[in-house]
Every structure is written in C-alpha cells, then in structure tokens.
Amino acid sequence: MAHSMILAELIGSLSYALDLTEGQPEGHCVRSCWIGLSLARHLALDEQTQRDIYYAILLKDLGCSSNAARISELYLADDRLFKHDFKLVGEGTASTLGFLFSHIGRGSSLKRRAESLWTILRHGKEITDQLIETRCYRGADIARQLRFNETVACGIQSLDEHWDGSGRPLGVQGEAIPLASRFALLAQLVDVFHVAGGREVACAEIARRAGSWLDPRLVNAFTELARDEAFWATLESNEVDAVVFACEPGKQGIAVDDDYLDAIAEGFGQVIDSKSPFTGGHSQRVALYADKIAERLGVVPERRRWLKRGALLHDVGKLGVSNRILDKPGRLTEEEWVAVKRHAAYTEEILGRIPLFSELAHVAGAHHERLDGGGYPRGLHAGQIALETRIITTADIFDAISAERPYHPANSIEQTLDIMRQHLGSAIDATCFSALEAVLASEASPTWEPSTLQTVS
C-alpha cells in the first residue's frame, strides 16, 4: 500500500535521531539542509543536483553512531559531548592538541588520562583515519540501503574531505571531492558556528576556512547569500523544518509504499544498533521475535508489519545516551540511570515527529513501561499499555537477557526464560511470554541469530 506523504518529512524527522548521537542541538541536520539548499538555489543548480545535495545533507550523519563506542573507549570521554565540541575546534595542530588535553579522560584518574593521551599522540593519525573511515563508509552503505543514489551515498562518504586534500578518508582534494560533500561540509560548519556564536561568527569561520577545508567558490557564494535577511530569518525560525520539508526538490509528495517504509525502518535500525558493540543486531532480533509473538497471538499480517517497524525503531532514543553509560560494565550511578531512562522518551519524541508514526511512537516509546506501574517514562499501568507494546517489551527483554551485555554474559534459552518467569505479571505480560515460549519450541534449532528465524512478509 502506498502512503501519501513527503519522503523528506519522513527522512528529515528521523534525522533528529542523528542529531542526538552527534551531540548537536535538535534540528541540526534540517537546518544544515536549509543552508545547503539555499546555497544551491542561489547558484541556480539544476533540480536533480539540488535534490542530491538536499538528501546528502539530511543524511550526512547516517554513519555517526558507528564510531561512538570507539571514541568513548579511546578518549575516555562522553562521545556526544566530544563530537559536539570537536566541531568547534579551529584549524591547526595547536587547536587540536588543546582540545585533546582538555577533553581526554574527564573524571578519570591521572594515570588513565596519561595513558590515553600517550596512545593518541603516538597513533593519532591512524586512529583518526579509522574513526572517520568507519563513519563515512557506514553512512554511505546505509544510504544505499535506503534507496538513495550513488551521488547521495558518495556525498555522505566524502563529508570529511577538505578542499586542500587534508581531509579523510581518502585525502582527495578540489574538484575531485563530490559536490554534495562540499555543500554538506560548508552547511554543517555554518550551522554549528551559527548556533554557537551567531551570524557574524559563522560567516567569519567559513571565510577563514576558504581554500583549506572549503571550496572557495562556495564560500564566495555563501557570502552573497548571507546578505539575504530572509535566509537567516528562516534558519532562525521555529518553522525551518516545515519549510525544508515543503521545499524538497522534485517529487514532492512522493508515495512511500510499505516496502520502502520497511527499508527505512531497517536502515535506521542499523544506525541504532551500531551505537554499541553489545547491541549489534538487537533491533532486528527484537523485530523478528515481536513478529513471531504477534503471529502466535493472531495479530493480522498488516498490523504485524506495522508492529515490526516499531520494534526496529524502539531504541532510537538510545542514540541520545553516551557510550560511557551504555557500555559501562559496572553499576550505574543515579545520574547515569536517569540518562538511560531518558531514551524511551527520546524514542517517542522522534517517532512522534512523523504523522504516519503517531500511534507507533506511543507504542514503541512505552517499551520500558511495566504492568505494575513501575516502568518509565510515564509509569503506566497494565490497562494503559497496549498489546503491541507488551509484545515489543517481551521481545526486548528476551534479547537483552540472552545476549551478552557489558553488565552480564550471554545466557542460554533456558536461563533466559527462567529469569523472565520471575517477572510475569509485573514487567512481562504472561500471554506474550507464553507465545514466546511457543515460538522458541517451534524452532528446530533456535539460536539468537536473526538469520535463523524466518521473517514474515
């Protein structure tokens, strides 16, 4: 079935999740898109080129979650804060070293900070190359899965290349850098420095990086665009997202069918799972388990397909939680636990931006609610928790217990089910649990790998 909606509204709304994992103020990708699109219009580029630039910028951070855990591990830092602050670092070795000295190992012992800093100083280039390469190639691959063309994918892949050849991952320079990448880097910098310091600071920073990081011709064109008060007024307004979605170049109101919605949910599920080495495949497994449970409970195929999307995206809010917390092996502090619990509300907020997902937002965002009222984020009781939420919760708890996590080793099927039985009627719905047991019993060789469980179309 085709759904009448603007593709840009769906992708743009989900881009708020990418802002979370980059530590940027909400709407960063959308504002960057407005900056890049306005510049492309100012230069009177053709519609297809504008469209490629538009989506390359909206999706520029698709791969950003894939290096979050490594950043936390290497720099002993909150990955979101580290990424946010690093975007404000000036050019040159001195600025970079000053940033590292001030950010590595905040709150860690002097010994651990010294060890980390020594590792970075000795292997800095190799480490940076690896982090950026992981991010860039991963983002491009997911863009292809989302059915965007090679121009968009390559635009994402080359986001961190610099005009003078000093960038990464390939160190290409000048005209060899995809045009969409050049627009995306400039737009990103404008938004970051505009949010941090205002119009004059943003314009000065762009001018400063002309010919080094940035295409000087684009900088000159932006200098002209910056004289347009209407451009800034839209950028600074609360309506910028609505304007951006309405300005999608070409194919406005594109029909997004069920297959495409599935592909988008699966693509963003991969973004979510890349956030931590302990959650690889988690969203896909939860979606498959949820689908199997729903089938056992007699949920109709159309509703199961809808539910599967919610299961794929149930943890999208975790992109807003630091890996210093997500991957912590020990007991969380009260403050850290508050941060973790916030992810459920983030999930509802992000999905709630999409009109088509309004009901799904409530269902997915409530996956940590408990039948006894002791869950979060709202403390709902049994009568307020939908069947679909109970299904996702059961699937989520099953995978969380059975898979290895930083705070516990992997558990067998029998161990997992025994643990879950202790929470029937309080956190876990007994009917959903019985359906799960039936699903597992029906599998000839049940394992935790989603490839062994048949999907339902």
Task: Please report the sign of the dihedral spanned by the C-alpha atoms of residue 45, residue 49, residue 54, residue 59.
Answer: negative
Say if 457 falls within a structural domain. Answer: no
Do 179 and 64 share a domain, yes or no? Answer: yes
Least confident piece of the model among 24-38, 100-114, 145-159: 100-114
Contact 426, 420 (CB under 8 A): no
Do 225 and 280 share a domain, yes or no? Answer: no
Domain final position from 201, 231, 246: 246
Do 191 and 300 share a domain, yes or no? Answer: no
pTM of the shown model: 0.91
- In whole angstroms, give the CA distance from residue 316 to residue 266: 12
Say if 254 falls within a structural domain. Answer: no
Do 198 and 322 share a domain, yes or no? Answer: no
* Res. 451: pLDDT tops 80: no
Query: What's the pLDDT at 172?
Result: 97
Residue 239 burial (C-beta neighbours within 10 Å; 0-12, 13-18, 19+): exposed
Do 327 and 209 share a domain, yes or no? Answer: no
- Give residue-wise pLDDT tens across range 251-304: 655 668 899 999 999 999 999 999 998 888 999 999 999 999 999 999 999 999
* Res. 109: pLDDT tops 50: yes
Please report which confidence band the pLDDT of residue 108 belongs to, taking 50, 70 and 90 as the band edges: confident
Contact 37, 46 (CB under 8 A): no
Query: What's the pLDDT at 448?
Result: 43
pLDDT, mean over the chain: 92
Buried b (16+ CB within 10 A) or exposed e, 298-318: ebeeeebbbbbbbbbbbbbbb
Higher pLDDT, 126 or 253: 126
Percentage, residues of the chain above pLDDT 90: 79
Number of domains in the chain: 2
Do 293 and 217 share a domain, yes or no? Answer: no
Least confident piece of the model among 12-26, 88-102, 167-181, 332-346: 88-102
Say if 68 falls within a structural domain. Answer: yes
Taking residues 366-381, report their average pLDDT.
97
Contact 235, 199 (CB under 8 A): no
Do 281 and 236 share a domain, yes or no? Answer: no
- In whole angstroms, give the CA distance from residue 194 to residue 386: 43
Say if 302 falls within a structural domain. Answer: yes
Query: What's the pLDDT at 252?
Result: 59
Quickly list DSSP for 32-92.
HHHHHHHHHHHTT--HHHHHHHHHHHHTTTTTGGGGHHHHHHHHTS-HHHHHHHHTT--SS
Q: Residue 199: which CATH number? A: 1.10.3210.10
Q: Which residues are catalytic?
A: 318
171 backbone dihedrals φ, ψ, rounded to 5°: 70, 30
In the three-class reduction of DSSP (H, G, I as helix; E, B as strand; rest coil), residue 405 is classed as: strand
Do 222 and 343 share a domain, yes or no? Answer: no
Say if 146 falls within a structural domain. Answer: yes
- Give residue-wise pLDDT tens across range 201-224: 999 999 999 999 999 999 999 999
Task: Please report the sign of the dihedral spanned by the C-alpha atoms of residue 340, residue 362, residue 60, residue 20.
Answer: negative
Taking residues 334-343, report their average pLDDT.
96
Query: What's the pLDDT at 1?
Result: 58
Say if 76 falls within a structural domain. Answer: yes
Higher pLDDT, 65 or 453: 65
Please report which confidence band the pLDDT of residue 117 belongs to, taking 50, 70 and 90 as the band edges: confident
The closest of 32, 308, 288, 81 to 184, measured between CA atoms, is 32
Domain final position from 229, 246, 263: 246
CA angle 90, 92, 94 (to 5 degrees): 95
Where in the sequence is the domain holding 201, given as residue range(s)? 2-246
H/E element, 3: strand 2-4
Query: What's the pLDDT at 2?
Result: 53
- In whole angstroms, give the CA distance from residue 14 to residue 345: 15
